[in-house]
Structure 1
């Protein structure tokens, strides 16, 4: 049985229709999931920003207090410049009372610092960035990992001061990194990798770990520049080592300092931000679950029963195997009714086939009996004619009767073959023609004659409507050839017969050598008979009469049996 296209399968059609039915629900689910995901991600970002701000409270308070102290000292810087000893005494006492600070000094525009908590003089005029700092005249904060005055790693807060209303320099306060607290384990469990502060130039001021580790956790330079002016924000990027990180940015109000939190993306709270359920995941899961339920339901209720019914149909079609009354198990009413109709149909088909076989057998027996009786009658006629031949006194009478006897024997042979045929009423005219030639030659040729006979005959099956005229045509053709058979002096007479088939096309050709001087008179009856038989075959007879050879050929097509129209 021809298999249909795969896309015409019931399973594929069900999946396609269910997908179409679930499409609106999937679109709504994607929209809702997008909203939920966006809100969840926003809430997670806000939570990260809040935790980052809370975690950096120590740095924020320290920097705010440092700027506050610098502003207070800047207001009185004019008095300290003119009294270096008083400056040293007060600043040293201030540093001694507050261990968060390691150094305080007043840096004038000349670059020569004579007022500081250490009491020594320092010249900063040649330091990198000094001229630009004096030109900008704005509060600043920077880091120095090996401060010469404090002797340790510090970040420095600088606040400008004025004398007589004009810019006169900066009050600088150094804060050592050693005073910063470690990151608590609770924040590490949430995924906090590093907490640092940056100035407006992107320079790292403070870090919970060492500076080398903090620098490795920074994002690219372009992202650092943009985040310093973006306000509170959170984004995901890669650190300097190529590792994925989530960054949170919280500016410290009232200062040019920004807090940067670095979070691991694989665990903790940052994972909740990066791992929010994908908008398409729920619709896909819903579609998959719906398809599983639909296909399971379709299989349990329909497909498995249809498969069994198809197998039963195949067994019945191939082997006539009937399973009427077999337990079907739990089957839906509609399919049980279908099973019942199929069983009823198979029973009816088997009964009708049995009746047809009986009828066909009876008809075959009757037909064979008819052919058998016709054959016997024709043989009886042939025997009567044979008796007449033996009692005939004239040669002409015996010749006519012999030719009639050949025709009768040809008909009898056909009916005998039909009686013995195993080809549904068709006759193997190949063997029939061979026997007709043999019979004709036995009658017409005496034992003293030496004739070459060549035959090339295919086993062709014809219905009696063509087999009868063909056998008569061959008998008449061979008789005619024997009548005029002859040859040139010193040569043997010969007869050749060819019957070939090519598809539905058949060709008959009978050729014989002739006497050089034709003394036999022709009545024309044989030619008329052969032409009539050729017309009955559905072909046209053609002849070729040469000096030493005569050829008769007929081409025709094999036709199917066509019953006679009923005469109402």
Structure 2
């Protein structure tokens, strides 16, 4: 046994936690499962029994009121009409709480006499009512929902001559409030509601109508049809608010009017209300005690070591890989293995970081050397073109060679910016544009009149692939301004570069005479359109607000740096500080 307990598998976290939780939680799980199942079944069955008994009791109480009215009508039926018929019926209505009106009718349906509270109806209306027709066909007692009085029940008794011929009827109007079941009965389940309905399933009155508006509108009508055949079994349905309800009912008198009770269907935890201490508080206390024991064991065995390793991992995340988790040597076997793995990971990352940094430094040095040599080669080409330009006498050829030199000078400037910048693979477009404009204007200043320049540029870190067409477009725009706007007169040149979220705009504005024919397309304008397409943008020449011409390039902002860089540029434009 000692050798078995000394094995790493037995000393591991899974074994200790599994054993502790299995021993501690098994009695609670068994007790909770047994009590939940037994309590739920008892409550559900008892609720159904209570609901059906309450429906039978409510029907019996209402039936007593109806039977009392029937006995009264049978006692009044043999009496003649006489002079005192109306006062007598009125006096009876005033003394009896459960009757709203009394009326006597002849064999032809003619109202003979009635209490003063009775509604006035014609003989034709009386003959059309179902309760009167049933009495005329030979039934002794008939009941019907009062169509003219939406809160009353008509109870009629047949009156016969000595030989059994139909002599007429006497009817009583019973308010449904007197027949409404008492939902305050303590034997009813909590949340019970009551309603009265006729044989067609129509709700006559209800304590809460929403409880009897079901998602299946035919459910109550189907139950009423079955109840007419003597089947008053309980059923379940969802009401208008989506709550599950249990419904039980019973006939009041005959099979014309029924009482229907509803109660919330028992949920999974509703049994706990029956015996909160035995079914809820005791298991909860046992669970809390078990939880505290498991948490204590987990803290001593697992959590504190995991927290220690988490702190070591957080130190690694900050870039300090020299720390080693030496304190974990006293931890369980799995934690010790994890600590050793974490320490090995730190050593491996340290070695790889050192190798990567050395490789990156070497690569950056090589890239800077390449950029420097490319810049030197471009300058050599520019020098050769300058020599050729001086040897050429044709003005057009000299101008073409000069334009080519400016384009090559712009490309050389790109590579100079790259090998001089700290991130060797990117360049700041704002700094580059200022230097390029200065270089172009300075080159032309020695051969012509003075041109003043103003450069406003938002900073945008951009890769060389996008910077090259941008620089070449600017060279063509500035060259056009020097040739057509500043020739032999000088002037003011304004360069504006704005980053507007997903789009950027580069403008070159002069104060010259403007564009004579905006639709004409020379070599310079053709090149500007081509460079704009490389940037997924468009170029245009528009008149300036105060004269002159504006060359505008609108293109999609390069997304190589991600959206965060664009937000930094926007912040720069608001605050005036560099991101």
TM interval, short-chain normalised:
0.3 to 0.5
The structure having more radius of gyration, on CA atoms, is 1
TM-score (norm. length: structure 1): 0.47
